[in-house]
A = this chain, B = another copy of it.
Amino acid sequence: MALAQAILTSLLEKPCTGAELARRFDKSLGHFWQATHQQIYRELGKLEQDGLVRAHGLAATRGQQRHFEVLATGKAALESWCAEPGEPRPIRDELLVRLRAAAVLGTVDVRVELLRHQGMHAQTLDRYLAIEANDFPADAQKTVADELQFAVLRAGIVYEQSWLNWCEQTLSHAPAIQKPALVEVWPPAD
């Protein structure tokens, strides 16, 4: 639902081709809204059909670059969407399902996986902190737009930090989890 708006935002910053858009998604927007190039091309097609963006270049020709730019209608649509209320996403991490399953099964050691996740979150956090140091130094004057972009980056930072914290906390109880006893929760049925 927000993919179209993310694309409009990125195109407003700078018109470009679909491939360029996909590359930019990987680098900045992709930190908090991922999309494959297929999703992007599909969405660009819809946006063009709806008259929100305009393309320079022939449609439906492979290999040919098509530059996209946002039309006034597209900017207006983005503005109106931007003012709409939305719901926050609840957590939805496979790892939690694994832990819950491990709690019921009582035969799985989750420490290795917890350590893996700790490492991955630490790595992502480092990436974000590097961006912060580079793009938002503490002593620099920030415009309003900078503050907002910084807020988005900070969301990523606190998100990764909270997962890291959680991994540490959970691992600190690891001796109890490492070799769990088998707990029968229900007569095995078959």
Contacts and interface: CB of A to CB of B under 8 A. Distances in A.
A117 to B, nearest CB: 6
A93 interface: yes
Given A32-B93, A32-B97, A105-B79, A170 B151 contact: yes
Nearest to A143: B183
Interface residues of A, number: 91
Dominant secondary structure of chain A at its interface with chain B: helix
Contacts of A152: 96, 99-100, 103
Given A148-B99, A183-B145, A186-B12, A86 B78 contact: no
12 contacts: A15-B186, A15-B189, A29-B97, A34-B92, A78-B105, A81-B101, A82-B105, A88-B117, A89-B92, A91-B156, A151-B173, A154-B166
